Amino acid sequence: MDALKNQPPPNANAFLPMTRAEMDARGWAELDVLLVTGDAYVDHPSFGAAVIGRVLEAEGLRVGIIAQPDWRRSESIQVMGRPRLFCGVTAGNLDSMLSNYTAARHKRKEDVYSEDGAPGKRPNHAAVVYAQLCRRAFPGVPVVLGGMEASMRRVVHYDFWEDKLRPSIMADAKADILVYGMGEFAIREIAKRLRTGNRDLSGIRGTALFLGAKTTAAAVFSDAILLPSWEDLQHDKKLLLRLTKVVEAQQTPYCGKRLVQMHGNRAVFMEPPALPLSGPELDALYELPFLRLPHPSYRGKVPGFVSIKDSVIVSRGCAGGCTFCGLGFHQGKFLTSRSVDSVLKEIRRMTEAETFRGTVSDLGGPTANLYACENGHVDACKNCHRPSCLWPTICPHFGIDESQQLDLLRRARTEPGVKHVFIQSGIRMDVALRTPEYLKELVQNHVSGHMKVAPEHLHPEVLRRMRKPAGDFQGFMEQFHELSEAAGREQYLVPYFISSFPGCTEKEMGAVEQFLKKENWNLQQVQDFIPLPMTGAAAMYVTGLDINTEQPIPVVRNAGDRERQKRMLRPNQSPRPRSKWEPSVDTVD
């Protein structure tokens, strides 16, 4: 990423082209790279296609974007002609099945990453469909698969909405290479090789190849870990637990090994993860000339952009390792934070926008108060295969820098043109309780009336399977209330609880229900559990085994049983007093 620091801002006032007319305006006869995405094109660093597009543009490449094409027609992605180097494909910011369907397997009425929230603009298994579309439209052009859907489906995985195991996405997509995780390093290396005419894409960190039968037969995998095969898993689904634990343990870029998974006589061959970007590299990435706007071809609003348009990403990576979440597999557990000066520079650009009204809605990332925390900085970290630095307790090597967190908040809110700076990303309560000054600063100056927290559950056994700490919520809640009162502010916590998690019956759900009744708490939101591909929670859901002990656990699969657990967390039908912790709000799913 060092090259980005020295690049002049290319076309600083222009979106990446989406039409032939926009190409002509730049004087381009052809594209070097065509990116196809399942999201609307929003030139903002929260949108993966925009990030990869700007990274490649900074390398001097001519990059175009086709957003939400009609996947039934090859012509829909041919409007800018055949790209010279490759087609890059992503389903978008979310797995397309999660975008299209609810936890009850009903079609969603809104797609927040589409114009006006319109549903139906991306196909199921969009990464596969788009890759095949590129193959038909541009025979012989390499296809590069990336994004969250590709990352989380790179090995055999469980698809909740189809209720079945599926092979690696590479077996269906027929792509030349899959980029998993945050793809800036890999995509630059792929482009570099293809520019020189080198079509050998092996040996690139953070990538997977689907080797042909002859290549597989000739390959030597002595330094790789052999995962349970597609055939083994079809015969015995319980092997999914072992598969998940091995992939998770090898997710570290410092000591992770190559992985191999057979599909018949062909191998999916995965390189170790890419190294995390350094702080200066992350600064350079977010200082690329993003316009922070949807493409002007859109007349309606893109809901997913509206909610983050005045936010700033300050860090990357998540050290939590929660079993229901894919961030550890995609962004990795090793944290990188931007410098305070880089964040302030982005805020100053925001204040120049006509639409800015003085409020920075969020300074966040996967978890807001992991900003400036350190892991991966000592040898013990680099030799560690634990999926979490925070569970069952915070690792002694995990560095927490309260002073830098305070500096960011205090300097951000004193920037000219800024009236308020809020934290909306959600925070780790266990880390917050170790940083009392930060917590005081946060509660008294940076809460927009509501603060998101995620206890997820209150039963210790369920929390253990989630890899969430037990016992922090009550203490955090009391401190939040005391600090709010001291500041003379009426503020409320917005907690998130998950129902129907593996190992959770109505008995365990009762721990949350009793707490809510005791506190007269009306929940704003209940999340009915969804087993996302490749996560530990999905492995427990499929196998009925505890991920830690590998002993049998009950799993709620029936729709009626799942609905009963959700109802346990909903407000009673009869009126009840409002909790001191939260305003009365109707529950939404």
Shared-domain flag, residues 236 and 195: yes
90 touches 83 (CB < 8 A): no
The answer as to whether 287 is a domain residue is no
What total number of domains does the chain contain?
3
Domain of residue 353, residue span: 310-430+439-448
pLDDT in tens, 532-557: 999 999 999 999 999 999 999 999 99
Domain CATH for 331: 3.30.750.210
Shared-domain flag, residues 416 and 508: no
Is residue 28 pLDDT above 60, yes or no? yes
The answer as to whether 422 is a domain residue is yes
The answer as to whether 292 is a domain residue is no
Domain final position from 270, 300, 325: 270
Please give the C-alpha separations between residue 298 and each of 54, 115, 116, 175, 294, in angstroms, as whole numbers.
Answer: 20, 7, 9, 30, 7
588 touches 524 (CB < 8 A): yes
**Residue 426 has what pLDDT?**
84
Domain final position from 413, 448, 483: 448
Shared-domain flag, residues 137 and 201: yes
Q: How far apart are CA 229 and CA 104, in angstroms?
A: 30
The answer as to whether 74 is a domain residue is yes
pLDDT in tens, 129-183: 999 999 999 999 999 999 999 999 999 999 999 999 999 999 999 999 999 999 9
The answer as to whether 282 is a domain residue is no
Lowest mean pLDDT among 53-57, 304-308, 332-336, 565-569: 565-569
H, E, C per residue of 8-34: CCCCCCCCCCCCHHHHHHHCCCCCCEE
The answer as to whether 280 is a domain residue is no
Shared-domain flag, residues 158 and 208: yes
> Taking residues 180-196, what's their average pLDDT?
97
pLDDT in tens, 366-376: 999 999 999 99
Please give the C-alpha separations between residue 362 and each of 299, 479, 511, in angstroms, as whole numbers.
Answer: 26, 22, 32
The answer as to whether 293 is a domain residue is no
Shared-domain flag, residues 233 and 323: no
**Residue 524 has what pLDDT?**
64
pLDDT in tens, 558-588: 999 999 999 998 754 333 334 444 433 333 3
DSSP string, 380-416: HHHT---S-SSSSS--TT-B--HHHHHHHHHHHHTST
CB neighbour list of residue 322: distance below 8 Å, 6 or more residues apart: 328, 388, 456, 466, 467, 468
Helices then strands, each counted (H, E), the chain: 24, 22
Q: Is the peptide bond before 577 cis (omega within 30 degrees of 0)?
A: no
- Work out the pLDDT band at 11, boundaries 50, 70, 90: low
346 touches 284 (CB < 8 A): no
> Taking residues 74-100, what's their average pLDDT?
97
Is residue 3 pLDDT above 50, yes or no? no
Domain final position from 270, 295, 327: 270
**Residue 47 has what pLDDT?**
97
pLDDT in tens, 213-259: 999 999 999 999 999 999 999 999 999 999 999 999 999 999 999 99
Tokens of 290: 């993003």
**Residue 13 has what pLDDT?**
63
Helix axis angle for 559-568 and 506-519, nearest 10°, is 20
Shared-domain flag, residues 405 and 464: no
Domain CATH for 464: 3.30.750.200
Query: Alpha carbon 275 to chain centroid distance?
Result: 17
Shared-domain flag, residues 198 and 236: yes
Shared-domain flag, residues 414 and 494: no
Query: Alpha carbon 298 to chain centroid distance?
Result: 25
- Work out the pLDDT band at 397, boundaries 50, 70, 90: very high
